[in-house]
Structure 1
Amino acid sequence: MGDKPAMLPVAGAIKKRPPDVKEFEFGPWKVTSCKSHILESEGEQRKRFDSQLELPQLPEMVFPENVLRVMHESGAGIEFNALDALTLVDAHADPVKVAASEEWQNARSDCEHIKNVISPFDWTFTTNYKGTILQNGTVAMKVSDTTEKINLDNLKKREPIHFYDDVLLFEDELSDNGTSILNVKVRVMPSCFFILMRLFCRVDNVLIRVNDTRLYHEAGQNYMLREFSSREEKTTNIPTAVHTDPNEVSQYLKLTQQTCERLEFSEVSSTS
């Protein structure tokens, strides 16, 4: 008898790659990164995003399973994911038209979003997301304001990098009128680990905005430092050569918001 014919894939079926998961232990900490497929137009994940978000539309590329997580052995930690980031996008107003009305009307009159008067929303997907605090039933992460700053000199030391990754959470080309991208990077050295989550938003001929969340921990300490900053400027005040470079353009942007916080372990009191 002849060999049994191979089964053909079902028409329309998409073969998904397994998630790319990396882990690294740093003392009592475990750093985990996960990279997976883009959000599909239908299915359970899409239903979850649509049900939890009020946005009329989502970024062109959303990665629902991409995550960067830092967990302490006690069960407390922090993670960065796309869904929680998008929950902080303004779903009811278009602040770009308000902030740069004249420039917007003149430069972006051909953009589909300007005609969206029925359901206005922040189509640049700007978010002030600083991460999602994780905790178990007995240990919490206490968040408090602080004047302590991240030790930049320590980060400049020539130390070997034991672990590094760059995780993309979402990206959109703003109907070919710019870009909005949120990604998070981590690097672990012998003396510390450092995380940078950056939202880079460029609306061509209107403005550039950079929101940075920095998380820093030195070995042996029982807390992390988290700094958040928001900067922006009109594109007319920025050299054209740096418009597409998030690192170079930051020096030309005005600081509009900044917070410094200490994330510290605290025992949760039990009631009898």
Structure 2
Amino acid sequence: MMPVFKSSRRDFTFGPWKLTAARTHIMKSAEAERLAEELHMPCVPEMMFGDNVLRIQHESHFGIEFNAADALRCVNNSQGMVKVACAEEWQESRSEPEHTKDVVKPYDWTYTTDYKGTLLGDILKLNVSATTEHIDTEKLKAREQIMFFEEVLLFEDELHDHGVSSLSVKIRVMPSSFFVLLRFFLRVDGVLIRMNDTRLYHEADKCYMLREYTSRESKVSGLMHVSQALFTDPNEIAQYLPVKETVCEKLEFPENLNTESAAPPEHT
């Protein structure tokens, strides 16, 4: 039986930014079927929170948000397939013939996504470019008051009792900055553990954000020296997973933006 989730929405103002965290019920079956058809998948994750969102929007309407549907659009159905004995059985148990006539087969039943967020804005948008600048983790370790914190689950699937696939995003806001962690976590029991993290950091006196994407993965056979008790804890197992890919980007504010709006925020 699916758990019951209480709907909530919280807004917070950080200088010129409006931060919104919305959490609500699991997507209804009819909506889930329509989305699965649009994405050319037999089905979407069991717990699909289509209306859950974390949005970071500037008063000039540009920004970035994190939502489940766009994350699933980044699932690659033709590469990186996890080959396990249960995969075929799992697909058959989850698929209904009337919804699979036109889908792409095979598809990634683990829902692995390299989603890094959805840029907002029509006229003005963040300008994304590669950078060698990294998020200053020492600043994040500093003892600052946390003025706002939220965690939003975007989707989760127990892979027919063979592990877990989940995507969640959390934000914490301090007087001088905000920090976002988007995490995709995959554990296929006895096979592999994979983690794709996107970190977003903005200091109030800067006209840009830093975004770092890191993909880690290990076969379970390569984790024989690690206690299995850690396999279910993403924070603990991360240090044992080799890094497969890293992407560092600078998300710069539009050039014609009034620089006064980038001033340090008042406490709200």
TM-score (norm 1): 0.83
Matched AA of 1:261: E
Counterpart CA distance in 2 for 1:241 and 1:113 is 28
Deviation, 1:19, is 4.1
Matched, 1:121 2:99: no
* Structure 2 unmatched ranges of 5 or more: 96-103, 257-268
- When residues 205 and 70 of structure 1 are mapped into structure 2, their CA distance, relative to the original with a 3 A threshold, is same
1:183-226 deviations in Å (ceiling 9; x for gaps): 00000001110000000100000000000000000011111000
Q: 1:253 aligns with which of 236, 241, 244?
A: 241
Counterpart CA distance in 2 for 1:171 and 1:25 is 29
Larger-Rg structure: 1
Q: In percent, how many aligned pairs have the same letter?
A: 51
Aligned partner of 1:184 in structure 2 is: 169
Aligned partner of 1:217 in structure 2 is: 202
Contact kept? 1:94, 1:120, Cα under 8 Å: no
1:208-255 deviations in Å (ceiling 9; x for gaps): 000000000001111100000100001122221211010111111111
Contact kept? 1:94, 1:121, Cα under 8 Å: no
Aligned partner of 1:6 in structure 2 is: none
Contact kept? 1:140, 1:267, Cα under 8 Å: no
Matched, 1:265 2:253: yes
Higher RCO by CA contacts (8 Å cutoff, separation 6 or greater): 2
Aligned partner of 1:170 in structure 2 is: 155
Contact kept? 1:113, 1:123, Cα under 8 Å: yes
Aligned partner of 1:112 in structure 2 is: 90
Aligned partner of 1:13 in structure 2 is: none
Counterpart CA distance in 2 for 1:241 and 1:31 is 35
Q: 1:232 aligns with which of 217, 225, 245?
A: 217
Counterpart CA distance in 1 for 2:5 and 2:186 is 30
Contact kept? 2:53, 2:154, Cα under 8 Å: yes
Matched, 1:36 2:36: no
Contact kept? 1:166, 1:186, Cα under 8 Å: yes
Deviation, 1:265, is 1.3
Q: 1:95 aligns with which of 68, 72, 81?
A: 81
- When residues 65 and 235 of structure 1 are mapped into structure 2, their CA distance, relative to the original with a 3 A threshold, is same
Aligned partner of 2:54 in structure 1 is: 68
Q: How does 1:138-217 map to 2 (within 5 A)?
A: 139-217=124-202
1:28-68 deviations in Å (ceiling 9; x for gaps): 111100001101111xx436513431111111010010000
In structure 1, the residue corresponding to 2:82 is in which secondary structure?
helix
In structure 2, the residue corresponding to 1:266 is in which secondary structure?
coil
In structure 1, the residue corresponding to 2:253 is in which secondary structure?
strand
Contact kept? 1:71, 1:77, Cα under 8 Å: yes
Contact kept? 1:162, 1:189, Cα under 8 Å: yes
Counterpart CA distance in 1 for 2:91 and 2:56 is 37
Deviation, 1:168, is 0.3
Contact kept? 2:90, 2:160, Cα under 8 Å: yes
Counterpart CA distance in 2 for 1:109 and 1:122 is 10
More displaced 10-residue stretch of structure 1: 229-238 or 58-67: 229-238
Matched, 1:58 2:44: yes
* Structure 1 unmatched ranges of 5 or more: 1-15, 98-103
Matched AA of 1:143: V
Counterpart CA distance in 1 for 2:134 and 2:8 is 34
More displaced 10-residue stretch of structure 1: 155-164 or 19-28: 19-28
- When residues 18 and 212 of structure 1 are mapped into structure 2, their CA distance, relative to the original with a 3 A threshold, is closer
Counterpart CA distance in 1 for 2:66 and 2:182 is 8
Aligned partner of 1:27 in structure 2 is: 15
